[in-house]
């Protein structure tokens, strides 16, 4: 069986609703079953990457901690949309996950290369 290349596209900010967390959990499930998976953060999804998150006072699990488990789940390929980072004035030094900054052309290429696309 040839392995299919999955690309998860995250475009939601964390905490406001459950979508960011559920998408990350899909990534972990795929990683746990050794699927070939990459994850791209675009638009408001790049907010997920900010460091210094502390959600204890809103009684939610910390999204930054969840993303930090990616490495152990074998997910090492992640991308962040450069224009989205720039629009939000997010410096690379603030990214908790080592996501590779990519422009929109590169993202479009990644979308083309994937066998399975999942956008949330």
Binding span for another protein by CB under 8 A among 1-9, 56-64, 97-105, 111-119: 56-64
CB of 55 to another protein, least distance (A): 4
3 touches another protein (CB under 8 A): no
d(CA 89, CA 66): 23
Closest Cα partner for 90 from 102, 100, 82, 79?
82
Least Å distance, CB 59 to another protein, is: 9
Count of CB atoms within 10 A of residue 39's CB? 28
15 sits near another protein (criterion: CB under 8 A): yes
**Which residues does residue 101 pair with via DSSP β-bridges, in sequence order?**
80
Q: Which residues contact 34 (CB under 8 A, 6 or more apart)?
A: 74
Residue 52 binds another protein, judged by CB under 8 A? yes
Q: Could you list the residues that contact another protein (CB under 8 A)? A: 11, 13-16, 25, 28-29, 31-34, 43-44, 47, 50-55, 57-58, 60-62, 64-66, 68-69, 72-74, 87-90, 94
């Amino acid at each position: 069986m040839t392995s299919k290349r999955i690309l998860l596209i995250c475009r939601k900010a964390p905490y406001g609703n459950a979508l960011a967390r559920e998408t990350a959990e899909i990534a972990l499930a795929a990683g746990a079953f050794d699927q070939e998976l990459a994850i791209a953060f675009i638009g408001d999804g790049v907010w997920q990457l900010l460091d210094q998150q502390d959600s204890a006072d809103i009684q939610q699990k910390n999204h930054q901690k969840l993303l930090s488990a990616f490495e152990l789940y074998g997910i090492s390929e992640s991308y962040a949309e450069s224009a989205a980072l720039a629009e939000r004035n997010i410096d690379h030094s603030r990214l908790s996950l080592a996501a590779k900054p990519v422009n929109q052309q590169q993202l479009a290429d990644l979308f083309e290369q994937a066998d399975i696309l999942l956008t949330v």
